[in-house]
Amino acid sequence: MVNQNNSPSDMGKIPLSDDKNLMNIAQYLKGVQQSHKRSIPPLEQWHPKHCGKMDLIIKANGEWWHEGQLIKRQALLDLFTKVLWKEEGKFYLKTPVEQIEIEVEDEPLLVNQVDQIEISGDEFLQLTTTNQDVILVDAEHPIFMREYAGELRPYVHVRFGINALIQRQAFYHLVNYGTLVENDKGETILQLKSGNLHLQLGT
């Protein structure tokens, strides 16, 4: 589990120039962080004011860039992903007092681990993101394929309309838990089962 107790000096290493919004969010998260356990705040219960747009972009490869500089501290990224919000097709960082729009090229989360676990005698697929989000694949959190930049990519729904891209190596592990079959059109289909959910994914 990621250690998310960051010192004030760690927080101060983000270049902010005139835009202090990112620092405000970091300080808020640092203040409410109480343990090593990752928990998502009740964002759906918050109705803050919109505070414009921040110069922050999450690249399709998962990199976070703020004012032209790459944010490298994983502990900070783990904190910021906890307050990701999606509304009317736009992405935001959201706290009880402010909601700031950011740019996301594809999806803001990445899955890098795939496991199969047993619950009450049924086998489920469990996916873990690079930020330590754990997703149990079910009807509310399905895996699906979608095209991005001319490439068919696998995703899983995480929360609040936000999805995570399943990274290539993780997808290879996912294939090991499923069955590859050929349909009537000669296309290769990956069949997966997670609990009572049956999935068929184009590859």
103-143: pLDDT as tens digits:
999 999 999 999 999 999 999 999 999 999 999 999 999 99
Report d(CA 124, CA 40) in Å as an integer.
22
CA–CA dist 195, 119 (Å, integer)? 8
pLDDT of 39 reads 85
Q: Higher confidence at residue 189 or residue 10?
A: 189
Q: Which domains, and CATH codes, for the chain? A: 8-104 (3.10.540.10), 109-202 (2.30.270.10)
pLDDT in tens, 7-51: 333 433 444 343 566 777 776 666 555 444 578 999 999 999 998
Q: Is the confidence at residue 90, as pLDDT, over 70?
A: yes
pLDDT at 73 over 70: yes
pLDDT of residue 24: 72
Q: Is 133 helix (H, G, I), strand (E, B) or coil?
A: coil
User: Alpha-carbon dihedral of residues 15, 20, 24, 25, nearest 10 degrees?
Assistant: -70
The partner residues of 101 in beta bridges, in order of sequence, read 53, 92
pLDDT for the residue numbered 88: 95
What are the tens digits of pLDDT across the range 157-183? 999 999 999 999 999 999 999 999 999
What lies within 8 Å, CB to CB, of 10 at 6+ separation is 73, 75, 76
